[in-house]
Amino acid sequence: MAKLNIVLYEPEIPSNTGNIGRTCVATGTRLHLIEPLGFRLNEKSIKRAGMDYWDDLDVTRYIDYQDFLEKNPGAKIYMASTKAPQTYTEVQYEEDAYIMFGKESGGIPEEILLENQETAIRIPMMNDIRSLNLSNSVAIVLYEALRQHNFDHMQLGGHLTKYEWK
């Protein structure tokens, strides 16, 4: 069973982190937060965006990037960045892959990207667009990784409340 990991490097906007937390709960994905955070985790905007799912979130905090690396030795980390040389669909995500996204104002530092060049990935977009919203980017890449694993632990069919599908 795929147990993917989303890593947020120094996130700054609480509503993005709340939305990402909700996506992680909905997909059975772990969330890793690398400090410093641009907000407090008890802020209303996180709870509002994550709704009542935040208490069900598998989340771990780290004091910095080095702490994250030390506590996750050998982790294969895909670095999502607008500066990356390959697209997010060109890689094969392992069942326990870590997918890192940088802070909203600056992304992942270039020295970290250089150290992880072979796993640096990007979402294609028009040349004159700086970047997509962080929570949208996480959803796009995460669902590709889940698709590659056939959504193996997720409900694939929906149900109507008043009717039945024909």
* 3-class DSSP string for the chain: CCCCEEEEECCCCHHHHHHHHHHHHHHCCEEEEECCCCCCCCCHHHHHHHHHHHHHCCEEEECCHHHHHHHCCCCCEEEECCCCCEECCCCCCCCCCEEEECECCCECCHHHHHHCHHHEEECCCCCCCCCCCHHHHHHHHHHHHHHHCCCCCCCCCCCCCCCCCC
Which residue segments constitute the domains of the chain, with CATH numbers given? 5-148 (3.40.1280.10)
Entry pTM: 0.92
In order along its 166 residues, the chain shows pLDDT tens digits of 669 999 999 999 988 998 999 999 999 999 999 999 988 777 566 666 555 677 889 999 999 999 999 999 999 999 999 999 999 999 999 999 999 999 999 999 999 999 999 999 999 999 888 899 999 999 999 999 999 999 988 899 998 999 998 8
Binding site annotation covers 157?
A: no
Binding site annotation covers 112?
A: no
The predicted pLDDT at position 153 comes to: 86
Binding site annotation covers 81?
A: no
